[in-house]
Amino acid sequence: MDELVESVMDYIRKPYTDHAIMINGEWGSGKTYFWNNKVKSKIESTDINGKRYKTIYMSLYGISNLDDISKKIFIEMNPSLNKSIKKVIDAHNISSIPEYVKTGIDMANSFGFMQMNDKIDYSKFFEIDDKVLCFDDLERANLDVIDVLGYINNFVEHDHMKTIIICNEKELSKKLKSTNVEMKTFIATYILNHEGKIKPETSRDEIPESIDDEENEDKPMVELIEDKIEHIFDKANDYERIKEKLIGETFEYIPEFNYIINGVLMRYESNPQLIQFLRKNSGLITQTFNRSGTRNLRILKHALNDFQKIFETTKRYYPDINDVVLKSLLIFTIAISFEIKAGKVTKDKLKDINSLEEYKTILVASKVLKDNRQFYIKEFDNNYYFTFKTDYRFFKFVEKYVRTRIFDMKTFKDDMDVIVAQENKGEIPSYKRLLTEDYWKIDDGEFNKVVTETLEDVKAGKLQLAEYFKLYVIFDFFIQKGLLDIDLEYLKLTFINGMNIAAATSGYCKDIDAYMAGTNLVETDENIKYILEHFNNLNLQTKEKEYINVAKELFEMIPDRVDKLPDRFVEQHLDIPIMKYYNMNTLFERILMLDNEDIVLVKDLVAARYQNVKDISQEDRNIRLLKQAMEEYIRGKVPTIKIILIEDFIKTLDLILLKPKKRASRRKSTKTVEEPALV
């Protein structure tokens, strides 16, 4: 880095220059930080031929016209220009005004500076040989780059001002080639057609597959169009020409990350506990940053800002948390920040994972099942945790926080409670090890013990149903590898009996099919197919029980806990047809026990819920039964407030029941318009 600073100073020291220099580097790599903390201070603190240079810095980010650049220069160099500058021109017998001064005069006039203060020494303004211009973010200007460089060339060629341009040439190249692609393609195709190089039968609205030209008969049409676009519109060639004229030297900025990261950490000095942890683990930060495959320090800064909240919250609620967990949190926060903010494919895969155990199970399954669908998860894990061995490699609350900017305290506590429980409990059960660890991490001496303990838990029904199926696949894999000598029929019966016991307490699994989606084991292995079918049957029964419990929990908040109902009734369990799983006569009896005000509340909650539920086919019958119970109750009764409210409730139920008919009617109407009957 010092060598680059010295190279810039060599340029500044030259008594005469007719070119600018460029510092090229990737976005977020710290180029602006390098300018502010290394180059600028060096220039302004160094005596050069008896002078101290003044730097004028301008970011071109978002600049949409050249006047905006002039305004920035004007504000930087002198805000108090006025017409009396003409006196200086006359006194010095100046025949041509430097471009740099023209900028100031034009902007002074545009801002309306009309002061007549003879005490201002305007002659100093004409001393342009002690000024250094720095233009940053060239590729981010909302202007034609060629126009911007032409503008900058005025200062370099006419005034011989020391000028430094900071940019990302890789992004600049993309920008030059990607503007107005549709328009360019249309014009190129039109010209090729006009030149007779497109076969006549090709539609002008299509990119043709071939051309009528012997010279190019083997050339794909897409390539020919690209060549024509490059020939007509290639701004890259214009850029290279003006760059050759304007830029004397281009320096590649390759940051010293250790130096910059130490500078970044200084902002946390006010938190002694945090800064001590970060400095102690600065090597881990640098390593994770390097493994991201980018040089984007901006993302790293954001990640460390996020980690500050994560660290402080974790220490507040779990003050005795293991240091390994905090290191794991640090690695994961940086890693997930790069995966999400650098636009990597992995981010969508990680979004769908809901827990550490699920993450580890996916990794094991991908290896046992040779499932390449999870390639990106394996790559993520191998990349960021290659040298740091930890059981804690995924935190849902961190992933959600970085992705949505919402720090979900419930998810945070769920994640951390699992870790604390595991830390306090010591060793995890043997079957969990087989489900969540690479099998080769188990020592040969303890493998048989792990298998024996697992089979005991399998027989006792201690696993969840989904775990039975996943574990059977792993045992089948061990047998195929020759690691186990177990009769397959015995193994199948052992798992079937264990599943039958576990079904009484097991939770419902929604996505077991996704577990096997990348393999053909179900089609090729009859035992695995049989186990899967048995699992599906038991899982369906489990789903029914779970749905009954959810419906019971919700409706039994009426009447005594009806105030707790809104938060859960309208937004949660929308995929569960709760009306199907509860007795409607019992529900109506509960509604009748409510005060009038709460009847209105429940009616409104029902209306709101079914605004969000698209399919009521499974609930239709019971909604009609509830409506029927209400109609029988009010029949022949003298109107009271409660009777009127029940009538309104009936109307709400009618509207809910009409929704499917309205949707069907709209679909029929649309089909009639789009697909008229044939005559």
| Pair 538, 516 in one domain | yes
| Pair 293, 376 in one domain | yes
Least confident interval from 73-87, 140-154, 635-649: 73-87
- Whether residue 517 is contained in a domain is answered as yes
62 pLDDT tier (thresholds 50, 70, 90) = confident
Burial class (CB in 10 A: 0-12, 13-18, 19+), 468: buried
Kindly state the average pLDDT of the residues 466-492. Answer: 91
262 pLDDT tier (thresholds 50, 70, 90) = confident
- Whether residue 433 is contained in a domain is answered as no
What is the per-residue pLDDT for 214? 47
Kindly state the average pLDDT of the residues 184-198. Answer: 68
- Whether residue 675 is contained in a domain is answered as no
What is the per-residue pLDDT for 409? 95
| Pair 120, 183 in one domain | no
What is the per-residue pLDDT for 577? 93
Higher-scoring residue by pLDDT: 514, 51: 51
Angstrom distance (rounded) from CA 488 to CA 621: 46
- Whether residue 81 is contained in a domain is answered as yes
- Domain holding 160, by residue range, is 2-175
Kindly state the average pLDDT of the residues 319-338. Answer: 94
Angstrom distance (rounded) from CA 536 to CA 512: 9
- Whether residue 554 is contained in a domain is answered as no
Q: Cβ(478)–Cβ(514) under 8 Å?
A: no
| Pair 291, 408 in one domain | yes
Angstrom distance (rounded) from CA 609 to CA 453: 47
- In this predicted structure, the answer to whether residue 456 has a pLDDT above a threshold of 60 is yes
Which residue among 160, 175, 190 closes a domain? Answer: 175
Write the pLDDT tens digit of every residue in 524-581: 789 988 999 999 999 999 999 999 999 999 999 999 999 989 878 888 888 889 999 9
**Top-ranked range on mean pLDDT: pick from 85-89, 116-120, 341-345:** 341-345
Task: Report the CATH number that the domain containing residue 113 is assigned in CATH.
Answer: 3.40.50
- Whether residue 337 is contained in a domain is answered as yes
Least confident interval from 186-190, 239-243, 274-278, 604-608: 186-190
Amino acid at 593: M
Which residue among 175, 193, 224 closes a domain? Answer: 175
Residues of the chain above pLDDT 90, percent: 37
What is the per-residue pLDDT for 649? 95
- Whether residue 422 is contained in a domain is answered as yes
| Pair 142, 216 in one domain | no
Backbone angles phi, psi at 342, to 5 degrees: -90, 5
What is the per-residue pLDDT for 373? 60
- In this predicted structure, the answer to whether residue 475 has a pLDDT above a threshold of 90 is yes
Write the pLDDT tens digit of every residue in 624-650: 999 999 999 999 999 999 999 999 999
Q: How many CB atoms lie within 10 A of CB 402?
A: 25
| Pair 121, 165 in one domain | yes
- In this predicted structure, the answer to whether residue 509 has a pLDDT above a threshold of 60 is yes
What is the per-residue pLDDT for 211? 45
What is the per-residue pLDDT for 130? 81
- In this predicted structure, the answer to whether residue 48 has a pLDDT above a threshold of 90 is no
Strand partners, 56: 133
| Pair 349, 413 in one domain | yes
Write the pLDDT tens digit of every residue in 220-259: 666 676 666 566 555 556 677 778 888 888 998 877 766 6
- In this predicted structure, the answer to whether residue 673 has a pLDDT above a threshold of 60 is no
The chain-wide mean pLDDT, for the chain, equals 81
498-to-81, 449, 470, 511 alpha-carbon distances in Å:
89, 19, 13, 21
| Pair 532, 627 in one domain | no
Q: What is the DSSP string of 154-167?
A: IIIIIT--EEEEEE
Amino acid at 460: A
Angstrom distance (rounded) from CA 38 to CA 4: 10
Q: Which of 40, 247, 8 is nearest to 148 (CA)?
A: 247
- In this predicted structure, the answer to whether residue 399 has a pLDDT above a threshold of 70 is yes
| Pair 457, 595 in one domain | no
- In this predicted structure, the answer to whether residue 676 has a pLDDT above a threshold of 50 is no
12: Cβ contacts below 8 Å, ≥ 6 apart: 43, 48, 53, 132, 162
| Pair 192, 100 in one domain | no
What is the per-residue pLDDT for 647? 95
Strand partners, 30: none
Kindly state the average pLDDT of the residues 25-45. Answer: 85
Which residue among 426, 451, 485 closes a domain? Answer: 426
- In this predicted structure, the answer to whether residue 362 has a pLDDT above a threshold of 60 is yes
664 pLDDT tier (thresholds 50, 70, 90) = low
Q: How many domains does the chain have?
A: 5
Least confident interval from 122-136, 211-225, 421-435: 211-225
- In this predicted structure, the answer to whether residue 376 has a pLDDT above a threshold of 70 is yes
Q: Per the structure block, which two tokens stand in for 73? A: 């220069």
What is the per-residue pLDDT for 111? 47
- In this predicted structure, the answer to whether residue 679 has a pLDDT above a threshold of 50 is no
| Pair 165, 191 in one domain | no
- In this predicted structure, the answer to whether residue 180 has a pLDDT above a threshold of 70 is no
Query: Cα 150 to chain center, whole Å?
Result: 38
What is the per-residue pLDDT for 677? 39
595 pLDDT tier (thresholds 50, 70, 90) = very high
| Pair 102, 157 in one domain | yes
- Whether residue 677 is contained in a domain is answered as no
Kindly state the average pLDDT of the residues 98-111. Answer: 51
